[in-house]
Structure 1
Amino acid sequence: MSVPLALRALLRSRNGLVGCVLVGVLVLSALVSLVWTPYDPTLVRPQDGWLLPFSGGHLLGTDRLGRDELSQLLTGARSTLRTALLAAAVAAVVGLALALTAVLLPRWPGAAVVQLTDVLIAFPVLLIAMILTAVHGGSTWTVITAIGVGAGVNLARVARAEAARVLDTDYVLAAHAAGSGTWRTVRKHLLPNIAPTLIVQLSLVLSVAVLAEAALSFLGFGTPAPAVSWGRMLYEQQAYIAARPLLVIWPGIAVAASVLGFNLLGDGLREATDARLRVREVTPV
């Protein structure tokens, strides 16, 4: 299916359209934060602490240290998007490497890789991330690596099943019979045919990465200060939820909307790329 047709099918899907809008808002916020924020998100002004929305020139108010809430949300969008994209890239490398190793190696080594993958899947992504950040210390790169490795193991199972299916098709067997080498077959036949499934799975990895980063930062294992992220905003304001609930509502809505957006985008991509799920128009008799 060509890219323009897939894009039209995605936008015709209600889930895909809503997902594109929500993800678009996240991307736009991240891009805007690169060139403009109302205030320096790390600027501390205790005299402006606890300002309510629409007061003192602060659209969403300030926290107890006088930092502008809207500026932190915009900057947090950039941090969240960067973490999610890099974690998805790590997951793609890990998942694809495990999947190709499992299907291309001889029977027993391939089976060993499959067994290792099945064992690692038993550990949730968030648990793996917490273990790695506890051992190596909280940092953005540790969080990215931990989330990417954990999500990559889950991606490997799906990629391996798709790769095994493609390798058993007649045209791949015919390519082998015609003298096509292993890596040529992988490049020309295998990767293009499993790419749609991987793209859908990676969109779901993005939602897992957003949620995992927020959860790790909220628990104190994630992005260290003075860096700004939505999870860190929740972590710093959790002691003041009763007095200033709006300070946790804004980042909470941002996290929920981003996770929902990536999930809906994944559903829309699946509908757009899977011929069995696309809605076909039937002409009345």
Structure 2
Amino acid sequence: MSVPSSRVLRALLKSRSGFAGSVLVGVLVLSALVSLVWTPYDPTLARPQDSWLLPLSGGHVLGTDRLGRDELSQLLTGARSTLRTALLAAAIAAVVGLALALAAVLVPRWIGAAVVQFTDVLIAFPVLLIAMILTAVYGGSTWTAVTAIGVGAGVNVARVARAEAGRVLGTDYVLAAHAAGSGTWRTVRRHVLPNIAPTLIVQLSLVLSVAVLAEAALSYLGFGTPPPAVSWGRMLHEQQSYITARPLLVIWPGLAVVCSVLGFNLLGDGLREAADARLRVRELQEVPGA
């Protein structure tokens, strides 16, 4: 059953988790867009004369690091890197997950069993471990990290999508569509994908949050975004030696990572509640007099 986008948006804004997630993700997106056209200072330019400035001093809202680089400028630029990584990883995970899920339920049974076994083996490897292995082999880069995170998360999406697709394919209306002459791909497009969309939305929101954490962790360990590019994980890595003397330099990127992960999770929950027509019908039935 399809859900009009306007009703989904209204239901999303009425949900506490959806509204809070929309605000947090909106701040991330706005920061990334602003960084495309403006930052207070060049985030990579060192100014030794401005090193270790406290917030609201010397024209620096959040202060500067030991090289005199503006913290706010680095946070804005890091938001762009984080959002790009998260969106690309989620896109790769969606393609990989749907391809594996549909292959498992639509192909002959013995091929589907092989796909399931292959997926189960890959699930045993954590996303971060896969990313570290690939970046160690092919070198640390944003594209290597994005691909590793997307493929690693895609197998988890595939397991959930396969279960949901199998459930939908066994329903009476899908069997009736087959009996009426509906082709396989027409059935998938008109019945399977719309019905598994709410579940996929939740899974992809988790992929976005995992991608933010994984990118920050890889950059912190030196496997992610290479210098001189700015990322929140690299900011944490560069300031860890000075955490006692200048704790704010670690708090700012740490808060950015936490708020982004929380925002994607809350937004995913809100979208699931808003898009799943079955949940809304159940809520209406529980209201007295409805």
User: How high is the TM-score relative to the length of structure 1?
Assistant: 0.96
Structure 1 residue 54: deviation in Å?
0.9
| Equivalent in 251, 254, 277 of residue 252 of structure 1 | 254
- Aligned amino acid, residue 251 of structure 1: P
- Partner of 1:238, secondary structure, is helix
1:1-285 alignment to 2 at 5 Å? 1-275=3-277, 277-278=279-280, 279-280=283-284, 282-283=287-288
Q: Distance in 1 between matches of 2:68 and 2:138?
A: 32
Q: Distance in 2 between matches of 1:90 and 1:97?
A: 11
Q: Distance in 2 between matches of 1:118 and 1:284?
A: 47
Runs of 5+ consecutive residues of structure 2 not aligned to the other structure = none
Runs of 5+ consecutive residues of structure 1 not aligned to the other structure = none
Q: Distance in 2 between matches of 1:14 and 1:193?
A: 24
Q: Distance in 1 between matches of 2:102 and 2:51?
A: 54
User: How high is the TM-score relative to the length of structure 2?
Assistant: 0.95
Aligned residues: 285
Between 161-170 and 255-264, the greater mean CA deviation after superposition: 161-170
Between 159-168 and 267-276, the greater mean CA deviation after superposition: 267-276
Structure 1 residue 200: deviation in Å?
2.0
Q: Distance in 2 between matches of 1:111 and 1:68?
A: 54
- Partner of 1:60, secondary structure, is coil
- Aligned amino acid, residue 52 of structure 2: W
Q: Deviations over 1:203-238 (max 9, x none)?
A: 111011001100111111110000001111111111
Structure 1 residue 271: deviation in Å?
1.8
- Partner of 2:244, secondary structure, is coil
Percent identical across equivalent pairs?
85
- Partner of 1:187, secondary structure, is helix
Does the C-alpha gap of structure 1 residues 275 and 178 become closer, same or farther in structure 2, counting only changes over 3 Å? closer
Structure 1 residue 124: deviation in Å?
1.1
